[in-house]
Amino acid sequence: MALSNLSIDGKRLLADLYKLREFGTYKTGVHRPTYSKVDMESRHWLAERMREAGLTPEIDGVGNVIGRGTGDGPRVLLGSHTETQPYAGWLDGALGVMYGLEVARAVGHGVDVVSWADEEGHYSSFPGSRSFVGLFSEADIDAGRNKYEGISMREALASAGLAGLPRIGFEPGRYRGYLEAHIEQGDTLESTGEKIGIVTSIVGIWAFRITFEGVQNHAGTTRMAIRRDAGLAAAKLVTAIDALFPTICAERTVWTVGRITLDPGAGSIIPGGAEVIFQIRDADPAVLQRMAAALEGLVAEADTGPCRAVLHDVSRSTPSLMDPGFQDALERAAERYAPGQHQRMPSGAGHDAQWLARVMPAAMVFVPSIGGISHHWSEDTSDADIVLGCQVMAAAVAEILDR
Amino acid sequence: MALSNLSIDGKRLLADLYKLREFGTYKTGVHRPTYSKVDMESRHWLAERMREAGLTPEIDGVGNVIGRGTGDGPRVLLGSHTETQPYAGWLDGALGVMYGLEVARAVGHGVDVVSWADEEGHYSSFPGSRSFVGLFSEADIDAGRNKYEGISMREALASAGLAGLPRIGFEPGRYRGYLEAHIEQGDTLESTGEKIGIVTSIVGIWAFRITFEGVQNHAGTTRMAIRRDAGLAAAKLVTAIDALFPTICAERTVWTVGRITLDPGAGSIIPGGAEVIFQIRDADPAVLQRMAAALEGLVAEADTGPCRAVLHDVSRSTPSLMDPGFQDALERAAERYAPGQHQRMPSGAGHDAQWLARVMPAAMVFVPSIGGISHHWSEDTSDADIVLGCQVMAAAVAEILDR
């Protein structure tokens, strides 16, 4: 059938990506925090591109931008997100949304396109896709707070002009499934010389906060022997994790201390408080459980020292399996356009697809990241790889709509 | 002579201290950052109290508040500072300034009173007392920057209404010397049941910044083996200092990591940069030199790891000896009002007296800190100890003026 021979327009795709990068350009990357002025400008720009592509765009009450087509027949939903991490890359998220738009234009019908709000978690954990699948309540919005600046999600939505808008929910039976393209954000494809990654599962992420309570005091007059230094306790825990975890992890387990904060954080004051932001990722729930238990042990041990140490659960996401049929379709498309240059692989990063997978078949396709870099302004992918990935996705979508 | 029998008015002293606490009250402490609105209000209030005490007050171009008396005869300068550390105690600094005012009132002549600007170092290192002794240039003002908020000292001075005002300098021959009272900020007096500390020397403080440069990357997709995690490198250095320093320090050496900052500091990003704020204090320059050399070794060792580690000197102050004759006068006064309840001791904290000691005899007297707590809002000293300390200081000043 004609669909399986369709070609995307690589130049048009790249032009759209370059244009989107202009919203919040930082060096060769982008600073486009969720609900910021420039983020909202980019959402309205995207809605206009959807309209030009023959879709009916809508920005909903949580900031999702959804472009829906009319007419009967089979239909898929394609998308990702358009806001960025602070001072981060131009393709993380943007690539998947622009692929969706280009595939919609190339296929001509049967494709809805979406940009999920706040996948990068400035205010909450996947509020856009969770809202769509019915797992993000008004109370969750009330609880949302910007993790860098502290303003509430309600305030931010109001400032962005989104207060009171309806939230668009999942319409049962409308879609055969959801597909999301993304940069790999690691160096697996690059190091093997491959061009396409077909995602088998999305890791679970278990996030924690560890707090330490000591006694704030003067850094000159308090003898070492009587100090209860919360900052030192925090540094020792981080060092202890680094010593223990490699001995108990699985092959692809990763863990990260993303932030250490000392209170009050002045040179001449012994810190009375400290906080460590920590996370563990693995595709196997049993591994996550084992690592979390080890962390509990280390924090309990720290708690026997001069400072009180407490482990707080922030979130525990379940690893998510991608649809086997969609994986097969993506593999056939990859073999056609990049023969022998594709592999199946888990995703070490969380993606909106893990929430969509709860209500419909879902799949993801990866393209190479130069140097494996992401969440940094220098993140990049070659133009040729960008265009190839979109062509593979278009062919897979054509097959799925064809069935 | 009459002077040596003078009595201070304890109720008046306490009433002034309580009143001063109202500028920026935080719980039972005070938040009164240098040049803030509330800090400037307190300086103008202080100037009015000086005027009532028969002194001629002046606020100078760096924020020092100086009240000077008229007439001939011997003269001493008494003071300390009135701004506070963030959310800190009500007596740190305030006590010494109010002692000065009360002693000036009790003695009636021969006492000038001063509140040095920014002893707590919000913008620079002792700008007030260094300006007075001629060791703080216009270029130093240009370089000053708020360490919490980043605004420049010039901007802050302008906002405080101080731009363009003359700076008052030391007038050779005017003073027999400088005396400063302060809370001990440690638990030595309390633990021995003593009431008065006579300071023998002020420690040297050597301050450092250690920076780490790794590679910022995604916390889910970057394998552990290829990470260059600047936050982990920082935590390991802090832990290594804690292991090594107790084996090479002197009896009263102290060292402190006051702040650890990870860049960018988000849960899902491997930190590409980190900064550790560190300081060492001792009264012996040789000990400071030994500890600094050990730190250099640890940083050099860290630099051989996956991240670049660099040691930056921030400042190196010289330990400062207090005047022996003034110490003797304070001891005689202490023995009279608190017989057997005083001791000579070094100061682990830096004080403006260390700068005044460069141009005239200088001395310090300490009163007990409850629980040894300072640089925290719960810092306190009993009313009886506050009044006793002022009486001792007044008697010593009387003897010094009498000579």
- CB B220 to CB A347 under 8 A? yes
The phi, psi pair for B399, rounded to 5°, reads -65, -40
Is A2-203+319-402 in CATH node 3.40.630.10? yes
Between A121, A267, A369, which is nearest B207 by CB? Answer: A267
**DSSP per residue, A128-193:** HHHHHTT---HHHHHH-B-TTT--BHHHHHHHTT-TTPPPP---TTS-SEEEEEEE--SSHHHHHT
Is a pLDDT exceeding 60 seen at residue B189?
A: yes
pTM of the model: 0.76
Partner B contacted by A143 (CB < 8 A):
no
CA distance A344 to chain B (A): 15
Rounded-to-integer distance, Cα B129 and Cα A3, Å: 81
- CB A372 to CB B226 under 8 A? yes
Mean pLDDT of chain B: 95
Mean pLDDT of chain A: 95
Who contacts A150 (Cβ-Cβ below 8 Å, separation ≥6)? Answer: none
Q: What is the pLDDT of residues B281-339, one digit of tens each?
A: 999 999 999 999 999 999 999 999 999 999 999 999 889 999 999 999 999 999 999 99
Between A86, A203, A314, which is nearest B264 by CB? Answer: A86
- CB A231 to CB B260 under 8 A? yes
CA distances from A100 to A163, A388, B96, B339 (A): 27, 14, 70, 86
Q: Where are the alpha helices (DSSP H) in B228-311?
A: 230-244, 285-303
So what CATH class is B2-203+320-402? alpha beta
Partner B contacted by A28 (CB < 8 A):
no
Domain ranges (residues) in chain A = 2-203+319-402, 204-316
Residue A374's pLDDT is: 87
Q: Scan residues 63-122 of B and list those with Cβ closer than 8 Å to A.
A: 85-87, 121
Residue A2's pLDDT is: 45
Partner B contacted by A268 (CB < 8 A):
yes
Whose tokens are 């009387």? That residue is B398
- A contacts of B252 (beta carbons < 8 Å): 223
The phi, psi pair for A340, rounded to 5°, reads 75, 5
- CB B203 to CB A220 under 8 A? yes
CA distance B346 to chain A (A): 10
Residue A375's pLDDT is: 85
Which stretches of chain A score pLDDT less than 70? 1-5
Instruction: Provide the CATH number for the domain formed by A204-316 in this structure.
Output: 3.30.70.360
SS3 state of residue A320: strand
Average pLDDT over residues B185-204: 95
Residue B4's pLDDT is: 56
Q: Scan residues 321-340 of A and list those with Cβ closer than 8 Å to B.
A: none
Q: What is the pLDDT of residues A10-22, one digit of tens each?
A: 999 999 999 999 9
Q: What is the pLDDT of residues B326-346, one digit of tens each?
A: 999 999 999 999 999 999 999
Residue A149's pLDDT is: 87
What ipTM was reported for this prediction? 0.77
- B contacts of A238 (beta carbons < 8 Å): 231-232, 235-236
Task: Tell me which H or E stretch contains B15.
Answer: helix B10-21
CA distances from B215 to A62, A379, B235, B309 (A): 33, 12, 16, 13
The phi, psi pair for B319, rounded to 5°, reads -55, 145
- CB burial string A384-394: b at 16+ within 10 A, e below: ebbbbbbbbbb
- CB A220 to CB B254 under 8 A? yes
- CB B262 to CB A258 under 8 A? yes
Q: What is the pLDDT of residues A101-146, one digit of tens each?
A: 999 999 989 999 999 999 999 999 999 999 999 999 999 999 999 9
Residue B2's pLDDT is: 45
Residue A1's pLDDT is: 42
Q: What is the pLDDT of residues A177-212, one digit of tens each?
A: 999 999 999 999 999 999 999 999 999 999 999 999
Burial of B252: CB neighbours in 10 Å, binned 0-12, 13-18, 19+: middle
| Fold agreement between A2-203+319-402 and A204-316 | no
Give the residue from B376, B285, B364 showing the smallest Cα distance to B323.
B364
